[in-house]
């Protein structure tokens, strides 16, 4: 009989939690009836982080997907009136993507759905446990502290 693999168990728990988070977020999104897929919601959230409309290539890089995937997402969101393609003022061959007013309104709903999902997931934890979990997750996301004031990736 082999000894239990604690790191393997932790990895499995993290994967199960990730799947649960996605399921719950998807359910909260569906209740709001926005007609937006989780992938489209991710693109909308990413767009909101830019100070000016990004290029499709910028979005693909930030989302860590191939440009064709962004094109498909933008096509669907543009058809729904959530984003629009605009010409780059400095280079007419470049197209940028910007949120519409409808897209911004849906983004507010998406944030609210994510908060509701997070509240549901974190409900069993005390405030102290939530703080501890946040610190642990930051460490796992950012990697070990190099002692030079920044984390490695």
Per-residue pLDDT for the chain (153 aa), expressed as one digit of tens each? 566 677 888 889 999 998 998 888 888 888 888 888 888 989 999 999 999 999 999 999 999 999 999 999 999 999 999 999 999 988 988 999 999 999 999 999 999 888 998 999 999 999 999 999 999 989 988 887 655 544 444
Q: Look up the pTM and report it.
A: 0.73
CB atoms within 10 A of CB 2: 4
Alpha helices in 80-125 (DSSP H): 101-122
User: Residues 67, 56: contact at Cβ < 8 Å?
Assistant: yes
What is the rounded distance in angstroms from the CA atom of residue 109 to the CA atom of residue 116? 10
Bin 147: left if φ > 0, else alpha if -120 < ψ < 50, else beta: left
């Amino acid at each position: 009989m082999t000894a239990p693999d604690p790191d393997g168990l932790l990895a499995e728990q993290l994967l199960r939690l990730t799947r649960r988070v996605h399921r719950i977020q998807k359910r909260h999104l569906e209740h709001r009836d926005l007609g937006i897929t989780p992938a489209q919601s991710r693109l909308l959230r990413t767009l909101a982080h830019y100070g000016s409309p990004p290029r499709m290539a910028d979005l693909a890089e930030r989302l860590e997907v191939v440009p064709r995937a962004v094109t498909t997402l933008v096509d669907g969101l543009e058809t729904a009136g959530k984003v629009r393609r605009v010409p780059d003022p400095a280079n007419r061959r470049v197209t940028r993507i910007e949120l519409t007013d409808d897209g911004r309104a849906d983004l507010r709903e998406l944030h609210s759905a994510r908060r509701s999902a997070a509240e549901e997931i974190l409900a069993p934890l005390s405030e102290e446990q939530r703080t501890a979990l946040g610190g642990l997750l930051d460490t796992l996301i950012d990697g070990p502290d190099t002692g030079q004031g920044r984390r490695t990736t």
